[in-house]
Amino acid sequence: MKITDGIWLMDASGATEQMPGFHCYLIRDAEGLTMIDTSLPGRAESLLAEIRSLGFQEKDLKRIFLTHTDMDHIGNARELQQATGCLVYVSAEEKKYLTGEYSRMPGKAEMFEKAHFQAPETTLFPENLPGYQVISTPGHTKGHVAVLYGDCLFAGDCMSTESGMAEPPSPRFTENVPLAEQSMRKVSLLDFALWCPAHGLPKRHVEETA
Ligand SMILES: [Zn+2]
């Protein structure tokens, strides 16, 4: 699904009017292709097929930016990396979930179980990423980031439109609800035209007047 010039919501990540999906986005930028998140495990082949159907080659995928490392975001990162050789970027705080330094919501661990999951090789987001602004948005997880590119704010799980409205992420899966709400307020003050969440369909950003 084309969002705007050079930006697609990957259909393979489950976006339909009926199903809000586990979305990832593809951006054609100066480096080639950049993917924001990678959806649930098991979808790497269809994501690669979709890249080809858009007229690109698999090797055009140069980078994956992970908003965080929950399974519905990191799910295909390793397979995509193996197929394309792309770099997979993550924040320093978020990487701690991969090294075992942090564990995600103890007690609900089965939902976030990574025991049999092979993580990709990750690279930390550099200070400066031309064209992009990586914004720290902790709350849902400790190292969550949102990514601003052009008119689009790739929110990951710092907001959701599953209900049709722009809302903070579900408290059930959010480590620090007040902090998550604060992070969503922080990004909502930025200048952009379109929220692009991982859960729910893209939605026009209404400027805060406060
Ligand atoms: Zn998610």
Residue 129 included in any domain? yes
CB-based contact 11:1 (threshold 8 Å):
yes
**How many distinct structural domains can be found in the chain?**
1
Q: Is residue 40 part of a domain?
A: yes
* CA distances to 43, 54, 83 from 60, in Å: 18, 11, 11
Q: What is the pLDDT of residue 115?
A: 64
Distance 144 CA to ligand 1 centre (A): 11
Q: In this predicted model, what pLDDT tens digit does every residue of 59-75 receive, in sequence order?
A: 999 999 999 999 999 99
Residue 44 φ/ψ, nearest 5 degrees: -60, -45
Residues paired with residue 64 on neighbouring β-strands, in sequence order: 35, 88
Query: Taking Cα atoms as reference points, which of 68, 100, 67, 65 lies closest to residue 81?
Result: 65
Tokens 């909502």 map to which residue?
Answer: 188
From ligand 1's centre to the CA of 18, what distance in Å? 18
Q: How far is the CA of 64 from the centre of ligand 1 (A)?
A: 16
Residue 209 lies in a domain: no
Pairing mode of beta strands 152-156, 194-197: parallel
| CA separation, residue 208 to residues 35, 174, 189 (Å) | 28, 24, 6
Which is higher by pLDDT, 150 or 13? 150
Q: How far is the CA of 21 from the centre of ligand 1 (A)?
A: 9
CA of 22 to the centre of ligand 1 (A): 7
In a domain, 70, yes or no: yes
What pLDDT digit, counting tens, does each position of 73-123 carry? Answer: 999 999 999 999 999 999 999 999 999 899 887 666 566 666 678 899 999
Q: How far apart are CA 158 and CA 155, in angstroms?
A: 5
Q: Is residue 36 part of a domain?
A: yes
- Dist. CA 52 → ligand 1 center (Å): 25
Domain of 114, CATH number, reads: 3.60.15.10
Instruction: Give the domain extent around 170.
Output: 2-204
Q: Tell me the CA–centroid distance for residue 89 and ligand 1, in Å.
A: 17
* Residue 28 belongs to some domain of the structure: yes
The interaxial angle of helices 77-84 and 44-53, nearest 10 deg, is 50
Tokens (6 digits) for 144: 């969550």
What does pTM read for this prediction?
Answer: 0.93
Evaluated on CA atoms 128, 132, 136, 139, the torsion sign reads negative
Q: Is residue 94, in this structure, part of any structural domain at all?
A: yes
Has residue 210 been placed in a domain?
no
The pLDDT score that the predictor gives to residue 165 is 87
